[in-house]
């Protein structure tokens, strides 16, 4: 079974969030299930630097008017295809935004060209390579399925689109349509047209043989107006094709027994050793190293992640005896609110503004709890890293957070199965109260250690979910 995965980021080459982690961890996990996954990504400068030994496998003369080439490389165990189009991906800034954080103005063109090339690969542009399934991730890759649908009379591979976050839909003005080189009939309600403009993700959701969302709860939530963000109607029309498959994590990269980014490695049997990591993060975040718990946040600082609710609650949280370490970047207003809180509560609240992969490991290995107060969360990975590291998750009861964390209510504590704390509904008061509940249990070392061990025993690997993807691919290929 050959699957072409099409994604705008993949760990460890380029990462802005959980999509990269998933795109990087799924291929090795699928191997055990007889699936060979090749991953196609854009040739950003950061990627090109890492694939010096690549070979050119295809030259494209006309990708929406641009010339480009496709490079094949192997890196970190991943079979990669990298699309190099001069002027398109080789520029300053991140994958989606410029140095000042504004979206690249030609993102529609960048990712349409990327998708066009992916469709050509899916249809056999590389000699000797014909995938059985093309699996596209999020809006940046979703137009691939439109190019496949309208592109050729030949037999097409089966197709899967994964929704990592419906908040990002790739919506553009109608005027873009003329540039996409799609036939006129694509401009329709069952094509790429979406509320009078062009919808990249909408097109993918419409045309995929199967749709997956990154957790069962999120797959249900996106069928409602509250979470569907305008696409609930379409999704309700496609319920037979819609599946929720929860993300796993790469348990080799995230392994407290081997993690090179920790001050001290440890296991469920040597949890006391975490103290050295707590001491290390206290120093990094400017916190006093006392017996009170450190709650950590490792996140994009945005409305989705509920960081404004956290900012409003900080004085109350500190009053309840918790310390806070925040690693993140994003919304400037939120960054400033958190910096102001850190200045108000020296030694109790620390924030490091930025993106720091090694530090994110140390935080999981040293903080007592990881806080994820998201308004919505398709899956969420930091709570899974928390489970694996004995860093107890305190999460909003939504999406994948609800699916992966067992709240320490009386029943779960009694049964000895609790792994964390759920906040529901989410507001500054419930956030503070839940943290208070966590602080109380933190000071009961036996209960806390039991919860840490429960989390560390939980299977957060890709084993189960990789099988679900493999089964899904097979069901699509054998259908007709």
- For ligand ADP, the binding residues (CB under 6 A) are 17-18, 21, 298-300, 327-329, 355-357, 360, 379-382
Nearest to 160 by CA among 480, 464, 470: 470
Nearer residue to ligand GLC within complex by CB, 280 or 470: 470
Q: What is the DSSP string of 110-159?
A: HHHHHHHHHHHHHTT-STT---SEEEEEHHHHHTHHHHHHHH-SSPPPEE
> Which residues between 188 and 227 bind ligand GLC (CB under 6 A)?
214
Partner from ligand ADP, ligand GLC, none contacting 214, C-beta within 5 to 8 A by type: ligand GLC
Shortest reach from residue 391's CB to ligand ADP, in Å: 12
Which position's Cβ is nearest ligand ADP?
18
- From the CB of 17, what's the least distance to ligand GLC, in Å? 4
* C-alpha distance across the termini of the chain, in Å: 16
> Least distance to ligand GLC from the beta carbon of 137, Å?
8
Of residues 204, 378, 390, 420, which one binds ligand GLC by CB under 6 A? 378
Number of amino acids touching ligand GLC (CB under 6 A): 14
* Residue 418 contacts residue 444 (beta carbons within 8 Å): no
Site string for ligand GLC, 149-168 (x = CB under 6 A): ---------------xx---
**CA of 276: how far to CAs of 34, 245, 251, 272, 293, in Å?**
42, 36, 22, 9, 14
Helix (H, G, I), strand (E, B) or coil at 376: coil
232/356 with CB nearer ligand ADP: 356
Q: How far apart are CA 208 and CA 220, in angstroms?
A: 18
Q: Of the two residues 19 and 148, which places its CB atom closer to ligand GLC in the complex?
A: 19
- Pick one of 295, 342, 379, 394: the residue that binds ligand GLC (CB under 6 A): 379
Tell which residue, 133, 174, 226, 58, has the closest CA to residue 470: 133
Residue the block writes with tokens 């040293």 = 366
Residue with tokens 């025993």: 457
Name the minimum Å distance from CB 11 to ligand ADP: 8
DSSP 80: E
Give 328 or 378: the residue with its C-beta nearer to ligand GLC. Answer: 378
- The entry of ligand GLC, ligand ADP, none that residue 329 binds, CB within 5 to 8 Å by partner kind: ligand ADP
Minimum gap (Å) between residue 413 Cβ and ligand GLC: 27
Closest CA to 376 of 406, 407, 397: 397
Q: Which residues contact 278 (CB under 8 A, 6 or more apart)?
A: 289, 294, 366, 367, 368
Residue among 4, 13, 18, 89 that touches ligand GLC (CB under 6 A) = 18
DSSP secondary structure letter of residue 107: H
**Closest CB 163 distance from ligand GLC, rounded Å:** 9
206 or 217: CB nearest ligand GLC: 217
Give whichever of 8 and 452 is closer to ligand GLC, judged by the CB atom. 8
Please check whether residue 143 is in contact with residue 203, taking contact to mean a CB–CB distance below 8 angstroms.
Answer: yes
CB-nearer residue toward ligand ADP: 21 or 292: 21
Q: How far is the CB of 24 from ligand GLC (least distance, A)?
A: 11
User: Which of ligand GLC, ligand ADP, none lies near 54, with the C-beta cut-off 5 to 8 A by kind?
Assistant: none
Candidates 151, 204, 380, 455; binder of ligand GLC (CB under 6 A) is: 380
Element of type H or E holding 463:
helix 463-477
User: Which of 143, 102, 137 lies closest to 24 in space, CA to CA?
Assistant: 137
CB contact at 8 A, 20 and 9 = yes
- Convert residues 111-150 into a mask of x (bound to ligand GLC by CB under 6 A) and - (unbound): ----------------------------------------
Least distance from ligand GLC to the Cβ atom of residue 214, Å? 4
Please report where in the chains the tokens 């290929």 appear, as a residue: 477
Q: Give me the least distance between CB of 355 and ligand ADP, in Å please.
A: 4
CB 140 within 8 A of CB 17: no
Q: Nearest to residue 159, comparing CAs of 211, 110, 118?
A: 211
Site string for ligand GLC, 302-331 (x = CB under 6 A): ------------------------------
Q: Verify cis geometry, omega within 30 degrees of 0, for the bond prior to 425.
A: yes
CB of 361 to ligand ADP, least distance (A): 8
Contact footprint for ligand GLC (CB under 6 A): 17-19, 22, 164-165, 214, 247, 377-381, 400
């Amino acid at each position: 079974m050959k699957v072409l995965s099409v994604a705008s980021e993949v760990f460890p080459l380029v990462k802005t969030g959980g999509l990269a982690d998933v795109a990087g961890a799924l291929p090795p996990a699928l191997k055990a299930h007889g699936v060979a996954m090749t991953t196609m990504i854009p040739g950003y400068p950061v990627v090109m630097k890492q694939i010096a030994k690549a070979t050119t496998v295809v030259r494209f003369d006309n990708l929406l008017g641009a010339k480009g080439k496709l490079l094949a490389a192997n890196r970190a165990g991943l079979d990669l295809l990298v699309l190099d189009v001069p002027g398109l991906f080789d520029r300053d800034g991140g994958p989606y935004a410029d140095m000042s954080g504004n979206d690249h103005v030609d993102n529609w063109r960048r990712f349409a060209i990327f998708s066009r090339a992916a469709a050509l690969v899916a249809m056999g542009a590389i000699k000797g390579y014909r995938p059985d399934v093309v699996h596209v991730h999020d809006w940046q890759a979703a137009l691939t399925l439109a190019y496949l649908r309208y592109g050729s009379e030949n037999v097409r591979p089966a197709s899967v689109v994964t929704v990592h976050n419906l908040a990002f839909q790739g919506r553009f003005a109608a005027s873009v349509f003329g540039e996409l080189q799609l036939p006129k009939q694509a401009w329709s309600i069952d094509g790429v047209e979406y509320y009078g403009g062009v919808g990249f993700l909408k097109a993918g959701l419409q045309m995929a043989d199967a749709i997956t969302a990154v957790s069962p709860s999120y797959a249900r939530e996106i069928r409602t107006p509250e979470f569907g963000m305008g696409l609930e109607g379409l999704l309700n029309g496609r319920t037979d094709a819609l599946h929720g498959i929860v993300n796993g994590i790469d348990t080799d990269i995230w392994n407290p027994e081997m993690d090179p980014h920790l001050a001290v490695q440890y296991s469920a049997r040597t949890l006391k050793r975490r103290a050295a990591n707590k001491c290390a993060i206290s120093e990094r975040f400017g916190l006093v190293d006392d017996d009170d718990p450190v709650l950590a946040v490792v996140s994009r600082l945005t409305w989705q992640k509920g960081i404004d609710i956290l900012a409003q609650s900080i004085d109350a949280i500190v009053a309840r005896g918790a310390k806070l370490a925040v690693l993140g970047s994003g919304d400037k207003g939120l960054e400033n609110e958190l910096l102001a809180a850190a200045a108000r509560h020296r030694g109790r609240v620390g924030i490091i503004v930025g993106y720091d992969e090694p530090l994110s490991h140390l935080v999981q290995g040293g903080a007592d709890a990881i806080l994820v107060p998201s308004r919505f969360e398709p899956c969420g990975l930091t709570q899974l890293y928390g489970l694996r590291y004995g860093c107890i998750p305190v999460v909003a009861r939504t999406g994948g957070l609800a699916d992966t964390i067992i709240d320490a209510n009386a029943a779960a504590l009694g049964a000895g199965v609790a792994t964390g704390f759920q906040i529901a509904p989410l507001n500054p008061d419930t956030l503070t109260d839940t943290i208070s509940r966590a602080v109380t249990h933190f000071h009961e070392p036996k209960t806390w250690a039991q919860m840490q061990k429960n989390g560390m025993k939980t299977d957060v690997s890709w084993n189960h979910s990789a099988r679900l993807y493999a089964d899904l691919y097979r069901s699509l290929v054998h259908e007709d």
